[in-house]
A = this chain, B = another copy of it.
Amino acid sequence: MTERTLINALAALENGPVKIQGWVDTVRDQKKVQFVVLRDETGACQLVNPRSEGREEISDTISNLAQGTMLTIEGDLKMDERVKLGGLEVKISSIKVESEANPETPIADDSSIDKRLDWRFLDLRTERNNLMFRAQTTMTHAMRNYWYDRDYIEIFTPKFMATASESNAELFKVEYFDGVAYLAQSPQFFKQMAQSAGFGKAFEIGPAFRADPSFTSRHATEFTSVDAEISWIESHADVMDMQEELIRTALGAVKERFGEDIKRVFDVEINLPENPFPRVPLLEAREIVESRGHKFERQDLDMDPEGEREIGRWALEEHGSEFVFLTDYPASIRPFYHMRHENDASLTKSYDLVWNGVEISTGAQREHRIEQLTAQIADKGMDAKALDFYLDFFRYGAPPHGGFGMGLSRMLMLMLHQPNLREVTYLFRGPNRLQP
């Protein structure tokens, strides 16, 4: 039997017999001739069937085709400039229905996002969504290449924990035999453990879980976390250096491979950051934002979503950068394990990364000195006993270290200028969404 040819490989062939496989996109069933647009994972092409004598069986099959039906086609490839779709068509010599689609397609182009998520596997068949996940594949691959080339060790940290990781809030509880376990909200403790274990540099791209009951465009109960952690840093600036280079590498790879397709399908230009990402202390950033007219309503010193958007606009206008690091957050709004400044214990050696006005990542140098760490736990009013297993990591020698965690879907969302996480997650999970 002829080997299958992918549709995007047809153009490079000579006229002649081919076998292609995919699903029915559209059918034009005319009196003298039938046309089918067939789509596969690489593209779409036109099939043609003249309704001539001896071809009745093929014609009948085509007349009954529903959108989505999976077909194996053998036929004759013919280059033809008049065919709008790729300048070629395949004249069917045999057609095999591999699996029939229900003719009532449950979603349309204008269906709501919630309806489309109910039928996500159909929604994913579009060129647009296919391209989205190919771009994500290139992005993760480029990031792992970056780390691999620099001798990072890949870790697969456990998702079951005996106690809370960073806080007791928003924690999922699992029935674990006769006891309970909790789902990791991040690999934080375990990627730090890799530093005490002498791994030097470690990374992980894997799931994390937050029992967050909110319904914003930026939250999910389960998300893919991109994490890296490195030893022997001088400060959080070393972590920012690494993350900045990582993002440049990832965006460069996506632009090279899919930049033109993304321009055509999403009307989005992938901009390779040319300038260094500006690094602005958070308190200065708040002043900048206020001077541009924004009023903070929250009581603490953190940014709010509109503040992030405003500092994003500022970074673009003043520094020509879609990215901006907000640094040196007050200790009051950072977790206990962020290292504090030697000369001002009210500030931490930490940062958030904002891309196109949305926070995508938090990083910091971690406190590796057991006395300071214990003091910071007390300072936060946390229970040192529950964290004792974690404190052990610092009782037998721990190097200075730091790292970041970054939301993969947030990256994809911002790269492709998408309005929310639901659009860019393979299968979104939220408080009231567990299926499909």
Interface residues of A (CB under 8 A from B): 4, 21-24, 39-42, 66, 68-70, 98-102, 105, 119-122, 124-125, 129-130, 133-134, 136-137, 140-141, 144, 148, 151-162, 172-177, 181, 183, 190, 193-194, 196-201, 206-207, 209, 211, 213, 221-222, 224, 231-232, 368-370, 389-390, 392-400, 408, 426-427, 429, 431-432, 434-436
Contact = CB atoms under 8 A, between A and B. Distances in A.
A393 B196 CA distance: 46
Give the most central of A41, A395, A398, A408: most B CB within 10 Å.
A41
Contacts of A175: 172-174
Given A40-B200, A41-B231, A211-B177, A155 B133 contact: yes
A98 B400 contact: yes
A395 B176 contact: no
A280 B169 CA distance: 53
A158 B121 contact: no
Nearest to A154: B137
Contact of A159 (B68, B155, B222, B432): B222
Contacts of A393: 121, 436
Contacts of A21: 231-232, 399
A157 B427 contact: yes
B155 A426 contact: yes
A165 B352 CA distance: 38
Contact of A427 (B39, B68, B190): B190
B99 A213 contact: no
A136 to B, nearest CB: 7
A395 B102 contact: yes
23 contacts: A23-B397, A40-B198, A40-B200, A42-B151, A68-B396, A98-B397, A101-B395, A101-B396, A120-B193, A120-B197, A122-B396, A124-B199, A137-B153, A140-B154, A141-B154, A157-B427, A159-B207, A162-B435, A174-B174, A176-B211, A176-B434, A181-B434, A193-B436
B144 A197 contact: no
A432 B181 CA distance: 11
A160 B221 contact: yes
A148 to B, nearest CB: 5
B397 A199 contact: no
B41 A200 contact: yes
B100 A397 contact: yes
Given A39-B198, A133-B154, 5 more contacts: A99-B399, A124-B198, A141-B144, A157-B426, A207-B207
Nearest to A155: B426
Contacts of A152: 137
B105 A396 contact: yes
A98 B162 contact: no
Given A199-B130, A397-B68, A427-B158, A173 B174 contact: yes
A125 B133 CA distance: 38
Between A70, A121, A162, the greatest number of chain B beta carbons within 10 A of the residue's beta carbon is seen for A121
